[in-house]
Structure formats: structure tokens, C-alpha cells
Amino acid sequence: MTIVKIKSRGITADAVTTSEIAPATITAADIAPATITTTQIGPGAVAQSNISPAVTLSVPAVTSDPPSPNSGDVWLRTDLKVFKAYLLGNATFSAGTSIPYGATSWSANGTSTNSFFAVCGYGSHPRTGGDNGARGYDNLEFNGTSWSNETNFPYANSSCCSVGTQSARVSGGGHGNPSGPNSPLGPSYSATTISYEWDGTSWAAPATMNYYASSLQSRHGHGPISSAFLHGGWYAPGGAKTNKSQIYDGTSWSTSPDGPTTTYVIASAGPPTKILHFGGDYAPSNKGTVEWDGSSWSAEPAMSTSRPEGTKIGTQAGPTNTGILAVGPTGGTSELYNGTSWSADQSYSPLPAFPGSDSGVSGGGNTGAGSSTGLLIGGGSPPYPGARVAEYTGAALASLSSPAFS
């Protein structure tokens, strides 16, 4: 006799165990919807190997963080047994540890508050010289607690770029090098093509950049030392703005495609294939944003506030440009970029004001993925610019919980 169907009410509880069911004899089609609940599955009874690859869970299980997460994404790191989420929250600003002396227009950068650096501050301070006596040869580093002055920059400079990390960076351009080569910006100023590489201990022999430019500060240039990208500047000879670009590969500089607009005193941030350039002379009304993807330029949504000489706290180590913060130059305001558009973020105006104005404030740090911290330093009008520091803390990549499972 063949038994065609047995109703479940004809089977006493625990009469049939899994050992009495042949493998693969029960399929999903044999189970009525909602007849099995989580209370009927013993702890550890279902392992990851028991789940078909065709089954999609609402939270993906992975062994590494996704390279380009979107705000709100959640995933399970099975190797760490940790849920993670990519969350963008409003930044908060607090008073930070003051720099040793006041200066403005620092060439600053870094990947967090405990790996921040700044070179060649301008103003009236102990480490100045050069053609007008106000150019700095400083080389400041911050470890999260205190500032230290490392080996001096090779000569008194200002308005140069500085790209990379505390232990591997390149600084170059800016106002004239006493040893040359230089090119005139005007009757009293010149620009140089000399750059120097810092390895955490000393400055290496100079490398020659592809064009003469000054007014670079921390705003121009971003990325790791092996792919440092520099765009715009106060171009020499003649002192005009430029749309030129160049890239450093860790050894030498080479030309890169021109940008869409001649500009200087812009801000830039982002990883090498998603570098945002914003403010400066970009239309409309110093609010414009463009992106360099490693091979071409594209226009992106404009900011809501004019930022002709603003700065940034933004991604360098992160995989995307999500979370870049545009800051200044007046009013103590900031805007946050979420990967597609800008929105107003926290103000740092409750902190003590920079003397003169926010113009010349320099920023650095990392946002978007991993740590989300940075600093704003200096600023104000010479001869006695500010020593103030504003510390930024944001929310980005967050660990939510650590559930125990096998």
C-alpha cells in the first residue's frame, strides 16, 4: 500500500526525527508558508553551509567591508561576528589643542586627528623667513594629544601644497625657492616648481613639478603619495589662475588633463578616483563642484553657500567621496557631501573666532569610511593670525553589535 498523504495532526510530537528523513526528500514546496518559526529551530542547528547560495538574506554576510557603501547600508562581518553600518551623522566641532603659535594658510592634511600635519604657516611667528620675512619653514605634526615641530621644511615657504600622510607625503610649489627655479607672479612674488618628499624623518632630494604655481595651501591636492593629484593654483609667469593639473606617482610629477575652469584657492578631497574640487572660482558664484575620476572631469551638484577660499575635512583613505565636509571661509558654516548632493551641517561659529576672519583656515582629516575625524587650524589675518584649533568628530562606519554565533 502506498501512503499518499499524512496529515500532521496524525503524527504525535517528536515521533519523526531528522534521522528518519532521507536527505533532500523535503523541499521548500512541501512546507506550508509560516509553519516553521524561529522558536522551532534549535540554537546552532542551521549553519551557514546549510543555506543555499540562492537564498538572499536581508543583511548580507561578508568577510570584508564593501568598497563603496551607501549611507544606511548594513552588513554582517562573519569573520568578526559584528554587524556594521555606514551611517552619516552631523559633524560636531569642539575646541582642540592650540597650535604652538599663530599662523595662517597652512599646507595641512592628514587622515585623522592623530595623524595630522601642517607645513609652512604664514604670519608673524618664530619659524619664518623668506623674501618678506613671514614665510614659514615649520613642519608640525599632531598625535591626537600634542603638537611637535619636526625637521624644518628645506626653506621658508608659503602657499605650497602638502599631500599624503605624516610618514609619507610630498610638499611643493608655493612662493619662490631661494635656490630656484622660480617664475614671477608679479612685481614682488614668484612661484617655484620644487617639491620635497617627507618619509617621517627627513626631507628627500627635490623633484620638479610640471608647472609653477602658488596659493595652493591645503586646499589643492589630495590622495596618497603614490597618486597625489594637484589642480589649479596661482600660475606663473604672470600671476593668472590656471586650469592645469598634475599627478605625483611617488617618484616624479607628470601632466594630467586640464580641469574645466581656471581657478585657485579651491578645496579638494576624496580618494584618487573620486576627488571632489569645490568652491574657489567654480560657477555658480563660487559654489560649483567638479569631480576627477582618474581619467576625466564631470560636473557635480553645487553647494548652497559661496566658498571662494574655503577648506575641507575629507576622505583620503576612504573608498568614496561620501562624507566630505566643506568649511568656511566666513560665518563658521559647513556643508556635508553624501555622494550625490550637499546639505548644511554643523557650525563651528560657537567656538572662539579666528582673528580677522576664517580666511586662511586649513583643514585635514578623514571622513566617510573608517575613522571620521579632522582638524581646522590657524587662519585669520596677518600679522598675528590665530593659533586656534577646531576638532571635528562625525559618524561614518559604525559597529552596531557583536552577536555570538557559530
What's the whole-number average pLDDT of the chain?
81
Burial class (CB in 10 A: 0-12, 13-18, 19+), 69: buried
Q: How many domains does the chain have?
A: 1
Structural domain includes residue 138: yes
Give the pLDDT confidence score for residue 296 in this predicted structure: 94
Give the pLDDT confidence score for residue 302 in this predicted structure: 94
- Neighbouring residues of 143: CB distance < 8 A, sequence distance ≥ 6: 114, 115
Structural domain includes residue 334: yes
Task: Please determine, for residue 329, whether its predicted confidence score (pLDDT) is greater than 90.
Answer: no
Give the pLDDT confidence score for residue 10 in this predicted structure: 61
- Alpha helices by DSSP H, listed for 32-96, are none
Please state, in angstroms and rounded to a whole number, the distance separating the CA atoms of residues 365 and 360. 17
C-beta neighbour count of 200 within 10 angstroms: 12
Is residue 351 within 8 Å of 392, Cβ to Cβ? no
Is residue 378 within 8 Å of 363, Cβ to Cβ? no
Structural domain includes residue 25: no
Three-state DSSP state, 291: strand
Q: Which amino acid is at 375?
A: L
Task: Please determine, for residue 350, whether its predicted confidence score (pLDDT) is greater than 60.
Answer: yes
* 103-107, 316-320, 402-406: which is most confident: 103-107
**What confidence category does residue 21 fall into, taking pLDDT thresholds of 50, 70 and 90?**
confident
Burial class (CB in 10 A: 0-12, 13-18, 19+), 292: buried
Is residue 93 within 8 Å of 390, Cβ to Cβ? yes
- Neighbouring residues of 110: CB distance < 8 A, sequence distance ≥ 6: 116, 117, 142, 165, 166, 316, 364, 365, 366, 374, 375
239 vs 40, residue with greater confidence: 239
Give the pLDDT confidence score for residue 369 in this predicted structure: 47
Three-state DSSP state, 70: coil
Burial class (CB in 10 A: 0-12, 13-18, 19+), 84: buried
Of 99, 70, 187, nearest to 378 by C-alpha is 99
Task: Please determine, for residue 362, whether its predicted confidence score (pLDDT) is greater than 70.
Answer: yes
Is residue 89 within 8 Å of 405, Cβ to Cβ? no
Give the pLDDT confidence score for residue 304 in this predicted structure: 92
C-alpha cell at 93: 566641532
Task: Please determine, for residue 404, whether its predicted confidence score (pLDDT) is greater than 50.
Answer: no
What percent of the chain is modeled with pLDDT above 90?
A: 25
25 half-sphere exposure, CB direction, 13 A CA radius = 6
Of 120-129, 220-229, 304-313, where does mean pLDDT reach its minimum? 220-229
Is the peptide bond prior to 224 cis by the omega test (within 30 degrees of 0)? no
Give the pLDDT confidence score for residue 120 in this predicted structure: 93
Query: Which domain CATH number covers 259?
Result: 2.120.10.80
Of 264, 334, 275, nearest to 300 by C-alpha is 275
Q: State mean pLDDT over 192-216.
A: 93
Is residue 234 within 8 Å of 219, Cβ to Cβ? no
- Neighbouring residues of 23: CB distance < 8 A, sequence distance ≥ 6: none
Structural domain includes residue 406: no
45 vs 115, residue with greater confidence: 115
Structural domain includes residue 114: yes
Q: State mean pLDDT over 216-241.
A: 82
Taking the model in full, what pTM does it have?
A: 0.76
Q: Which domain holds residue 260?
A: 92-400
C-alpha cell at 104: 595662517
Structural domain includes residue 212: yes
Task: Please determine, for residue 289, whether its predicted confidence score (pLDDT) is greater than 90.
Answer: yes
Written as one string, the DSSP assignment of 168-197 is SEEEE-SBPPTTS-EEESSSS-EEE-EEEE
Structural domain includes residue 79: no
pLDDT digits (tens, 9 = 90+) for 35-89: 777 667 766 667 666 766 666 657 888 998 776 666 678 888 888 888 887 766 5
Structural domain includes residue 275: yes
pLDDT digits (tens, 9 = 90+) for 252-265: 999 999 999 888 88
CA dihedral 339, 344, 349, 355 (to 10 degrees): 60
Give the pLDDT confidence score for residue 195 in this predicted structure: 94
